[in-house]
Amino acid sequence: LSRSAVVRGTPQIRTIMKQIFAEHAARDFGRAHVLRALSSAMIGLVARALTSESGGNGAVESSLFRRFEALLEQHHLERWSVADYAEALAVTPTHLNRITRAATGDTASHLILNRLIREARRNLVYTNLPVSTIAYTLGFEDPAYFSRVYAAATGISPRAFRAQLHGDEG
């Protein structure tokens, strides 16, 4: 576990992560003990996944995924498509999706959307910019479309998300 690596998100790992999220949010009695136990299980599963991965070209795929992540950080505001990222990495969109699925369990387009939503949340939390300005900043031509995309991805509209933040402060 001392070296950095990208591990395939197995169903077991995803289940433990969901349990960790739920336990952290619940704040029930014994929460710290349960979180420690779940974290230990997660570490064990990750260590198992690291040792069971075949040598093959995993290092090449891991390197490609890291390059994709770096490009995503550089270009997420430019609204690059999967094809744009694939072209920059000199691979096909299908191969890029294969790599992102192997590394995270998600498609490249889902990771691109998640990065955009993370940036939107950051703007909603740390700025007082109107939602329409945030939409334009993120490359959306229509603020209403941005609100629909945000709500579909998060389950809550940008305005409602921001209202929740301000409701928690008071």
Q: Are residues 125 and 157 in the same domain?
A: yes
Q: Are residues 41 and 70 in the same domain?
A: no
Q: What SS3 state is found at 61?
A: helix
Q: Which residues of 131-164 are buried (b: 16+ CB within 10 A; e: fewer)?
A: beebbeebebeebeebbebbeeeeeeebeebbee
Q: Domain with 149 in it: what CATH number?
A: 1.10.10.60
Q: Are residues 161 and 125 in the same domain?
A: yes
Ranking 51-55, 80-84, 117-121, 163-167 by mean pLDDT, the lowest is 51-55
- Of the candidates 69, 151, 147, which has an alpha carbon nearest to the alpha carbon of residue 112? 69
- The answer to the question of residue 161 being in a domain is yes
pTM: 0.63
pLDDT digits (tens, 9 = 90+) for 96-120: 999 999 888 899 999 999 999 999 9
- The answer to the question of residue 2 being in a domain is no
Residue 137 makes CB contacts below 8 A (sequence gap 6+) with 77, 123, 129
Domain that residue 92 falls in: 58-107
Number of domains in the chain: 3
- The answer to the question of residue 1 being in a domain is no
